[in-house]
Structure formats: structure tokens, C-alpha cells
Amino acid sequence: MAKVKRQRDLVLRPDSSRVFFRPFMPEREERVVKIIARVMELSDREVDRECARMSREFLDRTPGLRAFLLRRFEAIQDLLIADRPLSDSRKILLGAYFTQEYALEAAALFNPSIVPHPDQNGLPEGSLRFILSLRATGEGHVSSLVFRTGAVDAEGRVRVDPAEGFLTAGEVHPNPSYEKRLFERKLAELGLLSPFVSQMVSYLGDWFTYAELQACVEETVRRDRYMPPEQREQAEAALAVAAGNYEVNFDPDRELSARVIFPNSPAESHGIEDARFVAFREEDDTVTYHATYTAFDGRVFLPQMLTTRNFCHFRISTLNGPAVQNKGMALFPRKIHGRYAMLGRQDNENLFLMYSDLLHFWYSKQLLIRPTYPWEFVQLGNCGSPIETEAGWLVLTHGVGPMRRYVISAVLLDLECPDKVIGRLKEPLLSPTETERSGYVPNVVYSCGALVHKGRLILPYAMSDRYTGFATVNLNELLEELLRHAP
């Protein structure tokens, strides 16, 4: 069996001091109005005193907070009962009452994915710089996406750079436009294209903006004061689907570890989970970074895709088609015979293979692997995108067995025909040790992606949904073991 070497001196643990600021808004508007009224009752002297105190505690240590608080003031200023000019101090103070610091990884830092960094300059010979993405979980068990950088040296030792303490969520913008034909198809797949919604969308042009859809929904609701509650919910659901397609832009001068992609759409309201990044090589030999992830609204899991070239500008899109179901979809790092290829676990039990001519539309799937060994009888799935080797496509898998224990194993697929399994480990590659068994979800090791460097598999993995560690495996030994056990 291929030997796994754990790097025990490197464990990434959740750090409650890493925070960013986000909107805070009481659910009832009457409470918002009362808070505003109380602040407006303060004298200018009292306002200045409170602002000075807040500056010492927050503004002086948090980059960009002043501008954020002014934007939060703009979000609530329509609720002011008079138009008299306000000082910047009062505006900032009002904004602060509707803002909170959020420790986004206070509970857990886990389910990592790793890709080569686009900038490999200035490294010692034989080293590789990487970008590590992680699922961070904070208050309310809300998950977001954070990043770290680091390097692997020629001997396979992993180093992770120190992380910034204060983060920013970037600027969020809706998609510039939507194609009505594709939008209606997505609504139909989700069971939302009722006759009422179809009639509402018919008023839009062949291409429309988010603002136009929002105005259409508001006008439809305004016209019918006695609209049944289910139709109002359908209209709001259509708007939520459109909101699931958006862009996030970050200041390129901020460190990558200071950027967080926090839930921005209704579909993500309870979390962005388990991003599987892949460095996808386009047909013109350029590289685009794609990540499939799971959006969770508290009830429904929705597969989404994130795309970036530089980790400053991100585009988030819904995935479409009847094969887009469940969790754990993972894109191959290049086209195969001119088509995109993807792994999935649509039935929550088996591993499937999909092909498509369009990156965001997936219509059919074929069964690839079933649970076969006792340690995966409950379910199996992938642990990230397939890795191309000379021997075949290396796919790390996770298997769930007795006592809901998660392990990591591997299969090998034919390079030209990935629907053909040419190797499969009979035992897990990585199982939770005694020191890795305790955590938020006990008895789990899990990964969302690995890479190969200098003949070694570099495998970041989560320990019981709490911490993140690193392991390395000799690639040739692993491939030889896989090929010895061809089905």
C-alpha cells in the first residue's frame, strides 16, 4: 500500500480574531426606525464622543470601515423622517448601528482545495507556490470561502503564509444581463416556471438586467393587491434565482488571505460549502480557475460555479440541466475529445460521469462507480477534480462506512475514456487517526482537491470538520498500487 506521510507540524486551525464587517439589520422595520430615532436624539457633542470611542475600538484598526459605514448609512437613510443635513460623524454612527464584525472562521476551517498559484516568480528552485481555498464557518454555522497562499518545496514540505487578520468581502454586483430563454429553462428545472411566473417573465426582453427583473416583479406585485401568497412567493423565488448569478471584485492591493467570498444571494443564505477548485486549461493553453460549490439556503442544496482568472475578479453562476443535482460536482481540468467532463454524486450514493458541450449546462450522466468495500457502503463521492497523470486520471474519493466514518481512497480512470475504471484501491488511502477523530463532525477526513508536485501527491485534508492538515504520497507508488487492482 502506498505510504501516506502526514506533516504533523502544520495544522490550520480556526482563528476567531480573523474578522470582517458585514451588514446587521433587525428583521422588523419598526426596530430599525426606533434605533435611528434614538441616534437622531443625540446632541452633536454626544455623537462626536461616541464616534471617537468607536474610532479607537474599530475604525483605527480596520481598513475601509469608514467607507463601509457610510454605505450602510445610505442603505437606511430613506427611513429618516427629515431631510436636514447630517454631519459625517452622525452618518458614520448611524451606519455603525447597522453593521457588525463577524468572525467568519470562529467555528471551523476545513474542506480545503489546492491549485497552483498563477504567479510562480521568486521561488527557490524546485518549489511550487499554491493557492489554498478553505470553507470557513462562523456564527450561525454560516460557511464562506477564504484563501491562503503557500509553497511546496522540492522535498514535499508544505509551508503556508501568515494570514491577514482583517478581511474584506469585496464589491458585489449583479450579472450585467440575463438571457430570457436560459432563465426560463432554469426556472423550469427548479419547478418555479408556473403559468403566473411565465406570464410575468414574458414582459421582459430577450435579454434583461437584474434591475429590469426586479422592477417587473415589483410592478406585478403592485398591480395585484390581492395576489395569492403562493404567487408572491413564486415571483420572489424567480428574483432569487437571478440573484444567484453575480460578480465579486476585490482590491488587488489586498493580500489574497484578506479576501472572503461570503454568501451574497438568497440561495447561499446559509452558506457557501465545499468549493472544488481546478486550474482548467483552455484550448488556447490559457488557464481559468473554476470551482464548483454548494449553495445552501437552509433547506435546499444548489450546485453553483465560480470562475476567476486572477483571484481578484470572480463570477458566480448557477449550473443548469437535469444532471445538476445534489452535492460534490468536480470538473475535469481540460476538455476531453472537445467536451467538458464532470464528476458528480447525483443520487447521494454513487459516483457519476457527465459530458457537456456547454460549461454551465449538464443534461445526462452515466454511472461510474458504486460503493463496493465495507468502508464505503453508505456512500462514496469525489474529493476534488481528477488529476491528470501519465497512467490515467487520478480521482481521490471519499467513502462513508460504519459509524458514519469518512475515509479517503482513490480510483484511476482511463485518460482517453474516463468512463473506464482501470484501477481502484481496496483499502482507504487516508483514515482518521486517534488525534484526528474529534471535532465538529467526528471520525472524518475529507478533501476538496489535491495536486501533484515533483512526483508527490500533495493532499490537504480536513480533520473532523474542524481543522486542516497536509499529507503527501509518493505518486508512483500510488499509481502502481492502483494498477495492481484493476477491476
| Average pLDDT taken over every residue of the chain | 93
Beta strands at 301-308 and 313-318: parallel, antiparallel or unpaired? antiparallel
Which residues touch 343 (CB under 8 Å, ≥6 apart)? 328, 329, 330, 332, 351, 352, 353, 354, 368, 382, 385, 386, 395
186-198: average pLDDT: 86
pLDDT tens figures, 93-130:
999 999 999 999 999 999 999 999 999 999 999 999 99
**Torsion angle (degrees, nearest 10) of CA 16, 20, 23, 24:** 20
Determine which helix (DSSP H) or strand (DSSP E) holds 144, and give its type and residue range: strand 143-152
What's the confidence (pLDDT) of residue 78? Answer: 93
What's the confidence (pLDDT) of residue 227? Answer: 78
pLDDT over threshold 80, residue 1: no
Q: How confident is the model at residue 34 (pLDDT cuts 50, 70, 90)?
A: very high
pLDDT tens figures, 332-343:
999 999 999 999
The residue among 167, 196, 198, 169 whose CA lies nearest residue 185 is 198
265-272: average pLDDT: 91
What's the confidence (pLDDT) of residue 176? Answer: 81
The CATH code that applies to domain 4-15+104-171+245-484 is: 2.115.10.20
Pick 295 or 232 by higher pLDDT.
Answer: 295
What's the confidence (pLDDT) of residue 231? Answer: 86
Domain limits, the chain: 4-15+104-171+245-484, 22-103, 176-243
Q: What is the pTM of this model?
A: 0.92
Q: How confident is the model at residue 49 (pLDDT cuts 50, 70, 90)?
A: very high
Distance from C-alpha of 245 to C-alpha of 173, rounded to nearest angstrom: 9
What's the confidence (pLDDT) of residue 395? Answer: 98
What's the confidence (pLDDT) of residue 175? Answer: 84
How many of the other CB atoms lie within 10 Å of CB of 486? 10
Which residues touch 359 (CB under 8 Å, ≥6 apart)? 290, 305, 340
pLDDT over threshold 80, residue 225: no
Least confident of 2-6, 223-227, 255-259: 223-227
What's the confidence (pLDDT) of residue 10? Answer: 97
Pick 368 or 266 by higher pLDDT.
Answer: 368
pLDDT tens figures, 319-362:
988 899 888 999 999 999 999 999 999 999 999 999 999 999 99
- Strands (DSSP E) contained in 310-464 are 313-318, 330-331, 340-344, 351-356, 366-369, 379-382, 387-388, 393-400, 406-413, 421-424, 445-446, 451-453, 456-463
pLDDT over threshold 80, residue 224: no
How many of the other CB atoms lie within 10 Å of CB of 143? 29
pLDDT over threshold 90, residue 189: no
Pick 487 or 483 by higher pLDDT.
Answer: 483
Distance from C-alpha of 407 to C-alpha of 397, rounded to nearest angstrom: 8
Least confident of 137-141, 296-300, 419-423: 296-300
In this structure, what C-alpha cell is assigned to residue 475?
505518486
pLDDT over threshold 90, residue 219: no
What's the confidence (pLDDT) of residue 174? Answer: 86
Looking at the chain, the whole-number percentage of residues with pLDDT higher than 70 is: 100
